[in-house]
Chain A
Amino acid sequence: MAVLELQNVSKSFAATAALKDMNLAIEPGEIHAIVGENGAGKSTLIKIMTGVHQPDAGQIRVEGAAVAVRSTQEAQSLGIAAIYQEPMVFPDLDVAENIFISNRAEGAFMNWKRIYAAAARLIEQLGVTLDVRRAASGLTLAEQQTVEIARALSLNVKVLIMDEPTASLSAHEVARLLKIARALKAKGVAVIYISHRLDEIFEVADRVTVIRDGQHISTKPIAEVTPDGLVKDMVGRAVDTHAVKTAANPHGPAVLRLENLGRAGVFSGIGFDLSAGEVLCFAGLVGARRTDVALALFGIAPATEGRILIDGAEATIRTPQEAMARGIAYVSEDRRKLGLAMTLPIYANISLASLKKLLGGLGLIDRGAEIAMAETYRTQLAIKSPDVRVEVGKLSGGNQQKVMLAKWLETKPRILIFDEPTRGVDVGAKAEVHNIIRQLASEGVAVLVISSDLPEVLALADRVLVMREGAQAGILDIAEATQERVIGLAAGREARVA
């Protein structure tokens, strides 16, 4: 019998139907992947299963019995819990306290000895090691997720929903999380695994459900699907997810040259040449300090040693203004905090980095030109929005990414740095972003891409620079770059791989 079953569930917000006649049955002890583009209805589905939203029509059954899930508390008492990309832990409490935060069975006085022992047992069941007395504030994102999972386990979870759990994790943390998912499965817990990363799904899932436009498209055992078939189901058309390498592999004079670049205590010894039209990818584990190199180039946290040469001449870059004056643009990995003013309209975000060009007499903004410029990018980059006056915060992740890209394209950069350009972006938009990056390179822009997504690195790069713990572990030509070699360099196991 299915542990959790949705029967003909529908849900609309205002006039838009988020879910239409959704049917889904989750079996105990299975890892059930759910995939779909952003906006396909995955979030609504989760919210209905966890009691955040109530369905307009249809029924939810837990172990065969029809139930109403009116709040997350009710969902929890039914054995349904969810963990998200950003875990919720209380930083000032320790691991054990966080695990038992909602456990009220203890009464007024705590038996701390028993709590610590129980917490340690839960962590052990997950097959990982973590000191239960450590303060949560010092935990990595992956460790915080472990705490959340243990918390769910302490509440006798039957169905655990993992929503994009690996979006911000490094490769070995991902492996650890997949191990935990398997441990849960072995305990008979059903895991609903939602991810954009197909390789993970093929590694861990038993069955996979595709949803599109709020509708159930297919549910199949993993052995019966292929990545291409899955993507086709997701977008409703065939998408080329593979690299189309531009024929040109230019090695002209270096536009950008780094010599032994470093920032005290952060990174050191970074050196490479980058030609016009070349794509250099920065690979490495999370914490390898790749973003710090980008921040030094962009003048946010300037380098303290070594040299930056642009067109062969030494350049001092201490502020973003100086970097931009030299034709450098940096597309940040964090749209929400660093990339976009979410409450402002699309046009104001696109014009932000090149406002000067739009200023007429008395510093007045030429509104007509501003809107026209934004409209051009809306068409050119296929930003899905009826109007450029819409708030950026209302767009999907992929479209927000395009707005951010438009902002930097308008500065007409010669050196463009992308930091995790497709994080949290769905498959269709991901392919579009990749095409844009290739297009830019073919137009002669020198491109740096920082990415934790190895297939992406291998698809985009002409060369791959691998960083490890703030140092340059090696540069590989694309011909010699394989997943194994890159991971080997990144994790410091090159000798064994080579």
Chain B
Amino acid sequence: MQRLKSWEGILLALFLMTFAGNVVLAPEFLTVQNQVNLFQLSIEKIIVALVMTLIILNAEIDLSVASVMGLSACAFGYMVTQGWPAGGAVVICLGVGLVAGLINAVLIARAGIPSLVVTLAMLIGFRGFARVLVKDQSMGNFPDWFTHLGQDPLVGPLPLALILFVVLLVGLGVLLHRTGFGRQIVVIGTNAEVARFSGLNVARVKTTLFVMSGFVSALAGLLYAARLGSVRGDAASGFELDIITMVLMGGVSIFGGKGTMPGVFLSILIILNLRNGMALTNITGHIQTGVIGILLIASVLIPNLASDLRARRAKAV
């Protein structure tokens, strides 16, 4: 607990530093429109990162999220191109997400195959399916209402996706830290056998989480399609790594059981601000990625070094 609190303190300081850096670099950074844009650029990833937080806390992983996003986006593009009504296509795509999540869930929670293996296979499988649907084309011509939802403000300056992010952030934060279900997620992530021997339904919790992940990923895929106005077979490709990075940097233990939603939120803010600041100073995307990578390593190293140091100091006393 102490470790987590101090980690969130470091994250908060890092966030304030990146934020202040951005303000200095570009005074217009502070406008509402800029702040909205900052989130919009990565909005689909940060939405999925919220559910990924629950999954990693549960000592599982879902590598298939970006492929489900791609599949949902491509399925939408395919159906609209085939002349289906877009409203119905949205519903079907969300259903696709539920089914994709359920496939993961059954293999992981019922058949007992490690989630790393199952979702790696599905990362490949769902992506392949998406590519089959759209072939080498780019599919666009979405109805106006759909692209409006993806690109324009809905309430005040806030677009739909950002509203959904805030709702999910608060909703899943409360779910994780205040409800019985959240407690079960953490206990199972700490020690699934202890949970089972305490009468918790481990399979049901895991099933719920993976179905949730599939659904939210499909939703994020639709938001992605709406924001860009067209889809290709590689839509959202590789996003899973950015998403997992956000979660781990937020102080969530890859072994499960430890981590908080506020920590992940701070980590998201840092990454968004850092990328923005580096873009302002003309640092290229590749170097940006490298910096984020170093930050991730540091995020795992620092807490370990700190506890090491504390142990050594305790020994020296």
A binding-site residues for B, Cβ under 8 Å: 12-15, 53, 298, 300, 319-321, 323-324, 330, 332, 337-345, 348, 352-353, 355-356, 358-359, 362-365, 389, 391, 407
Contact = CB atoms under 8 A, between A and B. Distances in A.
A344 B197 contact: no
Interface stretch (B62-70, B123-131, B161-169, B173-181): B173-181
B196 interface: yes
A53 B317 CA distance: 13
Q: Classify chain B's interface size.
A: 20 to 34
A359 B179 CA distance: 8
Contacts, number: 80
B314 A14 contact: yes
Contacts of A345: 1
B124 to A, nearest CB: 33
Contacts of B241: none
A321 B201 contact: yes
A343 B257 contact: yes
Contacts of A365: 178-180, 183
A338 B183 contact: no
B179 A13 contact: no
Secondary structure type dominating chain A contacts: mixed
A417 to B, nearest CB: 12
Interface string B186-203: 110011011111111100
Contacts of B193: 337-338
A371 to B, nearest CB: 14
Interface in B270-297: none
Interface in B174-232: 174, 178-181, 183-184, 186-187, 190-191, 193-201
B258 interface: yes
- In the complex, the 4 A-B pairs of residues with the closest C-beta atoms, listed nearest first: A341-B190, A363-B179, A320-B199, A353-B198
B316 to A, nearest CB: 10
Contact of A338 (B181, B194, B201, B257): B194
Given A13-B317, A320-B197, A339-B197, A344 B190 contact: yes
B183 A320 contact: no
B194 A353 contact: no
A391 B4 CA distance: 14
A48 to B, nearest CB: 13
A338 B197 contact: yes
Given A14-B314, A342-B191, A344-B190, A353 B178 contact: no
13 contacts: A53-B315, A300-B196, A320-B199, A321-B201, A330-B197, A339-B197, A340-B194, A341-B187, A352-B194, A352-B200, A355-B184, A364-B180, A407-B198
B198 to A, nearest CB: 5
Given A342-B191, A363-B180, A365-B180, A324 B199 contact: yes
A165 to B, nearest CB: 26
Contacts of B314: 13-14
